[in-house]
Structure 1
Amino acid sequence: MQAKPSRTTFRNRLDEMITALRDDIVTGRLKSGEFIPSLMQLSKQFQLSINSVQKGLDQLAAESLIERIPRVGIRVKDSTRHSTVSLSFGYYPSLMEDVDLQHLIAAFQEEHPHIRIQPVPLQYENYYDVTSNYLYNEMLDVLTINHINFNQYEDRHTDIREVFEPIKPAAGIYPYLSPPFMRDKTQYVQPIVFSPVILCYNQQHFEQRQADEPPLEWTWQEFMACLDRLGRDESRLAFYFYPATLNRWPIFLLQSGVEFKRNKTGKMNLAAPQIMDSIQTCNELIQRQNMFQILLSENDVNVEELFSQQRISVMMTTYFNMNRLRRASFPFDIAPLPYVHTPKTLLITIGMAINRRSKQKAAAQVFIDYLTSYRSQLHIRKTTYSIPALQRAAEWHGEELGYRPSRYNIYRDISHTYALLSDLNLNPHEIEELLNAMNMYWMGMENKEATLSRLATI
């Protein structure tokens, strides 16, 4: 015999019905003067009795959202009070180019005139400090967030539910994108776009030096032999990357093959030989770079600028940053990262989260649904190099609007190598200590033995 549904279950269904109808009215999906489904239809859809449906509609009528027309039905009330919703949207400025965000916002507002998007740019630097203030003071309703920033919130809050509203997961998203944003089977961030860290190379430079095209799997030692083939040229560097960012140096540690697990006392062996191999490999790549060029390039954007000027033959980058190359006058292509002991690369996912304190959660969810729709995701695929989170859109085949690397779909072949910064299992203080130790070694201020000793104390 089946257990009788509890009163809580009925209350949840009733709340679901009220919320769904309210959201449809406020966001404009149900327009003024339009009739809502009948009592019988609502009863069947939400598995409620007619009396329960009536009670829910009484609440919406009390909010001046609907009105009963005798012997006709119930329609949305014509009221300017709920005609427009203002949605404060915090975004990474790079997304203006990386997903053609301005176009997507304009298209959304044309389709949803009841929701006005108020964009608020958010810098990567001091992201947590700025956004936490905005969220707490209800200055943001919805915002873009990556996995690293999401972990910052987890590190500083005992309960992520105090910050972000649970998200209604979108269907058809690549399965490996959502789990990093889930806690206790609840999702808090909806992935929009993603990218692994990859290599990008100038095909003309390879042809001029008669160097083979990069393979799908190779070691850093094999890569450095390829760089030797490219030769030295005063006018350009064979390879360049900016190591001191969280999207670069951790890759070498992840490629060590070490399982970053703590023992019973909470300690981790960061002085393992494989980890030192990774640090030395990174150091060898750094030493191959001209110091003057390093001073010229203070961040990843400038790396792409140097590459577009053909002053670099190969660079470590992402699909996002390749958007800076759309006006390049030469053919370029991409390759997977070489590895130290184990093939690994960082997965960078950018998604959307809703402020738990927001009074416009329904409109925020509508905006997120729009950005993950096939229409929006296909626009990202066609007009940018960024990879849409929606698999169907990402794997679209058709006539390209402009130049696209022939190996664009290589991200599918290397998905088994995707890793996250959180896989290092280190807290922010430990990460800072680790980077300091590596910097001392890379700058030649400490030798291998001193570095191992320092690593053992972390």
Structure 2
Amino acid sequence: MEKRTSRKSSRERLSELINMLREEIVTGKRPIGDYLPAEKTLAEDYNLSNQSVRKGLETLVAEGLIEKIPRVGTKVIGLHDDSIPTVKLGFHSSVTGEADMHRLLELFQQTNPHIRVLAVPTASNNYSYIRDYLANGMLDVVMMNYTNFQEFMENDAAGLLEPQERNPDLYPILSDAFMADGRQLVQPFIFSPLILCYNREHFREAQLSEPDSSWQWKDLIEASSKLAIPNERLGFHCDLYSMNRWPLLLLQHGGKFERQEDGRLKLAGTRMMDALRYCGEMKQHIPSLRDGSVTGESELFLAKGKVSMIMTSYFYLNYLLGEHLSFDVAPVPHLGTPMTMLLNTGLAVNRKSQVKEASVTLVEFLTSYQAQLFVRQHTYSLPARKAAAEYVGEEKRYRPTRFSLFRETIPSFRYFTDLNISASELSRINQELKLYWAGLETEEALCSQIEESYTAVSPV
């Protein structure tokens, strides 16, 4: 195993170790009766002290997953108290910070001591990964985003999801997205539109007006060139070619993917091809734009003063927690009509769960006012519960002055499916577009690949 040499703190590396071992035990990768590697080995692999590893293993001992046998080793025993229902909650590791999940679950345990929750950070939010975990009973509750849900619908996997009661206290635009055949299959948890985030000091120094809802992309391009300082900082930075970013420009163009008579996508000579061409031209319009950003990179650059503006989400603002930075937010630029892309994450209950009642109790708690207000007060993520998201009162940390701008921009929220495209088509087209935008594929080849190679899949 490769030793961890990243810039992560020891606390983050310890959390990574605990989560990895927990997931491997719960999913059977480390079966009951197996022995874990020696503490010294784990310490070396994760660049931790023996004392830290020992403390981490005590967490798994307390959860009933392992036991320490003196002079023998650490043995996997699995969950042993059948009298207490154990809900296995699967969530992508990024949500640990986006919703302060571990402290949130501690609150649940305080009010529901009769239910044990086993938090299982999943290694992927890929549809097939989540589907297999549900189908095999490895998870009772799982977080899934809107794209995951669309993939479940497209692959006739809705039968794995337990219908839930629609919650009138959650934003309707979020709940509607997780409905199928009149049933609420996923309960909204947190959400975010794409937004612009910027360093206020940089704007003051350059004597520029701060971004507002009137900004179009040409305004951002002009401001970016004035804010950039050669060899010192960028004017603007974002991973524009991420699947959660580039559909925004297509949505703002106002077009939809057209289809041929047999249902396959049509691209050549369409308005959508014009929009894709425009995305590629953004490289020339914004010389400082970079490709292939890693998660949180734009936010790190902003925190270090190496960039003045970034396109991000409320989720990713959490990378700025604790940073000494005067930043604010604004709506994303547009092309004449204000419009932004909506990211939506919810909670699904496994229809095959053996602890379904306890699973529903957990979901009800996580969407309660108490839990949702906790998310609002301790993170920058937006809770799905309207009263919590729009909370006005004492703040526990620095909050941008325009934090509540999302309330006024709700009419501009759009999902990628508004482009008349399915989740599977989005994923497959994304690969071709990366080649096209990198100059490794011609427009003719792009159109040919998309129009001739892909079997039609109608959006849900």
TM-score greater than 0.5 by the shorter chain: yes
Deviation per residue, 1:20-74 (Å, 9 max, x gap): xxxxxxxxxxxxxxxxxxxxxxxxxxxxxxxxxxxxxxxxxxxxxxxxxxxxxxx
Task: Report the AA paired with residue 128 of structure 1.
Answer: Y
Letter aligned with residue 317 of structure 1: T
State the one-letter code of the partner of 2:373: L
Q: Tell me, in whole angstroms, the C-alpha distance in 2 between the residues paired with 1:448 and 1:227.
A: 29
> Residues of 2 paired with 1:231 and 1:268: CA distance?
40
Aligned to 2:178: 181
* Aligned residue in 1 for 2:402: 407
For 1:166-177, list aligned pairs within 5 A.
Answer: 166-177=163-174
**1:300 aligned residue (295, 304, 309):** 295
Alpha carbons 1:199, 1:336 under 8 Å: kept? yes
* Residue in 1 that maps onto 2:104: 104
Q: Where does residue 191 of structure 1 map in the other structure?
A: 188
Seq. identity, %: 35
1:77-98 CA-to-partner distances (Å, cap 9, x unmatched) read xxxx985211111112122211
Question: After the TM superposition, which of the residue ranges 95-104 and 420-429 deviates more from structure 2?
Answer: 420-429
Following the alignment from structure 2 to structure 1, what is the Cα–Cα distance between the partners of residues 207 and 449?
Answer: 43
Contact 1:220–1:281 (CA under 8 A) maintained in structure 2: no
CA distance in 1, matches of 2:214, 2:202: 21
Q: Deviations along 1:242-297, whole A, 9 cap, x unmatched?
A: 13321011111111111345454324443355434433432233343458x64xx6
Q: How has the CA–CA distance of structure 1 residues 272 and 418 changed in structure 2, closer, same or farther, with 3 Å as cutoff?
A: farther
Aligned to 1:68: none
> One-letter code of the match for 1:322?
L
Q: What is residue 328 of structure 1 aligned with on the other side?
A: 323
- Aligned equivalents of 1:340 and 1:281: distance in 2? 11
Tell me which residue corresponds to 2:54: none
Give yes or no for contact 1:271–1:455 (8 Å, CA) kept in 2: no
- Structure 1 counterpart of 2:86, one-letter code: S
Is contact 1:170–1:369 with CA below 8 Å preserved after alignment?
Answer: no
Given candidates 196, 212, 216, the residue that maps to 2:213 is: 216
Distance 1:432 1:186 in 2: 26
1:100-179 aligned within 5 A: 100-124=100-124, 127-156=126-155, 158-160=156-158, 162-179=159-176
Once the 2 structures are TM-superposed, how far is the Cα of residue 370 of structure 1 from its aligned partner? 0.7
After superposition, residues 244-393 of structure 1 pair within 5 angstroms as 244-260=241-257, 262=259, 264-272=261-269, 274-287=271-284, 288-290=286-288, 294=291, 298-340=293-335, 342-393=337-388
Alpha-carbon distance in structure 2 between the residues aligned to 1:223 and 1:454: 33
Residues of 2 paired with 1:413 and 1:232: CA distance?
Answer: 34
Question: Could you tell me whether the CA contact under 8 Å between 1:260 and 1:423 is conserved in 2?
Answer: no
1:198-243 Cα offsets, whole Å, 9 max, x none, are 1111111111111111121332122212212324431111111113
CA distance in 2, matches of 1:272, 1:388: 42
Is contact 1:441-1:448 (8 Å) kept?
yes
Give the secondary structure class of the aligned counterpart of 1:210.
Answer: coil
In 1, Cα distance between the equivalents of 2:135 and 2:443?
Answer: 46
Q: Specify whether residues 269 and 386 from structure 1 end up closer, same or farther in structure 2 by C-alpha distance, changes over 3 A only.
A: same
- Whole-Å separation in 1 of the counterparts to 2:342 and 2:254: 17
Q: Which residue of 1 aligns with 2:89?
A: 89
Match of 1:440 in 2: 435
Aligned positions, number: 372
Distance between the aligned counterparts of 2:100 and 2:299, measured in 1?
Answer: 19
Structure 2 contact 372–383 (Cα < 8 Å) conserved: yes
**Gap change, CA 1:273 and 1:314, over 3 Å in 2:** farther
- Aligned equivalents of 2:148, 2:111: Cα separation in 1: 31
Partner of 1:243: 240
- Provide the residue aligned with 1:229 in structure 2: 226
TM-score with structure 2 length normalisation?
0.75
In 2, the alpha carbon distance for the partners of 1:203 and 1:129 equals 42
Offset at 1:446? 4.7
Taking the aligned partners of 1:240 and 1:167, their CA distance within structure 2 comes to: 40
Give 1:123 deviation, angstroms. 3.0
Matched AA of 2:278: T
Secondary structure of the equivalent of 2:210? coil
Q: How far has the Cα of 1:373 moved from its partner?
A: 1.0
Question: Residue 33 of structure 1 aligns with which residue?
Answer: none
Contact 2:314 2:381 in 1 (8 A): yes
Q: CA offset at residue 410 of structure 1?
A: 1.0
- 1:146 offset after TM fit, Å? 0.7
SS at match of 1:144: strand
Give 1 or 2 for the bigger CA radius of gyration: 1
Deviation at 1:434, TM superposition (A): 3.3
> How big is the shift at 1:447?
5.5
Partner SS, residue 147 of structure 2: helix
Q: For 2:250, what is the secondary structure of its paired residue?
A: helix
Q: How far has the Cα of 1:452 moved from its partner? A: 5.9
Give 1:441 shift: 3.4
Q: Which runs of 5+ in 1 are unaligned?
A: 1-80
Q: Residue type of the partner of 1:211? A: L
Q: Distance in 2 between matches of 1:341 and 1:245?
A: 23
Aligned-partner SS, 2:201 = helix
Say which SS state the counterpart of residue 253 (structure 2) adopts.
coil
CA distance in 2 between partners of 1:454 and 1:102 (Å): 45
